[in-house]
Amino acid sequence: MDVLQQPQSEAPARMEPLAKLPVFWSLEGKRVIVAGGSDAAAWKAELLAACGAEVHVYADKLSDMFETLIRRGTQHPHGGFNHHSQTWDEAIFSGAAIAIADCETGDEARTFFDAARVAGVPVNVIDKPAFCQFQFGSIVNRSPVVVSISTDGAAPILAQAIRRRIETLLPQALKGWAGLAQSLRDRINERLAPGPLRRAFWETFVDRAFSSLDTPEEGVGGQLLDEAERLRGAPAHTYRGRVTLVGAGPGDAELLTLKAVRALQAADVILFDDLVSSEVLELARREAKRMLVGKRGGRASCRQEDINEMMVKLAKAGKRVVRLKSGDPMIFGRAGEEIAHLDRENIPVDVIPGITAASAMASRLGISLTHRDHAQSVRFITGHSRHGGLPDDIDWAAVADPRTTTIFYMGGRTAGLIAERLIREGLPASLPAVVMSDVSRPKQASWRGSLSELSEGISKIGYDNPVLIAVGSVFLERSIESTHIQEFAHAV
């Protein structure tokens, strides 16, 4: 089959439910209404004027802050204040883009809200959510870069805390670089057609902007235009696509590395495993095409050969391909086969490691897999062969080492056989064993018992979700609350 035209499954961009639609609204030169002369109304009026709006203020009395604001004016060339020493009436809404009011009573708020709606003007009554068609977020201003945070009115203090953190991440110099990008955009688009060359230019621009603590020096714009010209004249094969193997970790999106997030946000196409969580995919670039190429035991799967060919064809078409694998791509992820195939086709490939499920399991349990009183090594082993049953090429006598912690991946259906074989090779039947499924995810579950009870533990955990089986005396070090199935709730 043509794997580019007929992938096993193509996943549309998934969007979690939104409390409100974030919209950035141009108000330059527009007439807006602010009814009320309080400090709260002044804050909203200042924000509107900073956007270039003509702010018409209707209040028979202004607070000292509001009077100072109007007297000082605004630095925006088109923004300004017009104070009308009267209370509002229905006639003021004609031609207005939006209307804001600070109302003392619920009846006054409803009257203003209804009048604005009748006039077809979007309306916000300050601190009265029932009379707001839109809300103001907490703002980080690096205009033309503007970041707005909303908690849907549930926790304004939380929004302010988020804003403070973002403020520390975005350098003040970003304002100058964003302005430069705005001034260059049309000229860059004239020189570079949509596709790999234009992406290469802007990604270099972004790297330069975030690595600089200073605003762009004079002449930088000309240098960047020269770079665009050089790119336009470069041979097409110079900027062919590439493949990045990315570890998605065990499921919790917060366990991704920063480098993995950057790769997801730069990808044109994402080929992802069945076990990759939707929270991780949510961090990808919205425009990226997502294609499910998962392989699960006992289920319909995409052949590894098809995945290999898909990566090659996409990269040769100039795409930046992210092969997104659950856990760490270099541990039971068949990364070696994929890298070898890409090397044979001269496709550039790099690897971004991820947190493997065994490490996440140890952190959840609060147990060191190599506690020096119990284990001098840790061993990761696949729990089944490609044909089902136990792997036949494992030295089980070596595996049955009481001074080693052993983690079995993908061993749910062979758990009973694993236990029987280890006991036969000399491990005590009473040796602690742990089974865990959905590691780091909201439905995480675990069981603890002895090696001889492993079949019982698997039956309690179930076979529907991938499980880890851990065996070793390190699990004596710290008690786990329940010896049977246990659900973990994680608060963020």
User: Mind telling me the catalytic residues?
Assistant: 273, 295
394: DSSP letter: S
**Eight-class DSSP state of 154:** S
Total Cβ atoms within 10 A of residue 274? 15
DSSP labels for 286-297? Answer: TTSEEEE----T
CA 141/CA 467 separation, integer angstroms = 46
User: 294 phi and psi, to 5 degrees?
Assistant: -65, 155
Which residue is associated with the tokens 């639609």?
Answer: 21
Quote the CA–CA distance of 314 and 239 in Å, as a whole number: 13
- Strand-pair partners of 249: 327
Long-range contacts: 40-46, Cβ < 8 Å, 24+?
A: 40/102, 40/126, 40/127, 41/66, 41/100, 41/101, 41/102, 41/126, 42/66, 42/69, 44/100, 44/124, 44/126, 44/136, 45/69, 45/81, 45/100, 46/74
Residue 60 CA: distances (Å) to CA of 41, 87, 197, 354, 457: 13, 6, 59, 62, 75
Alpha helices in 73-155 (DSSP H): 106-118
CA 94 – CA 92 distance, rounded (Å): 6
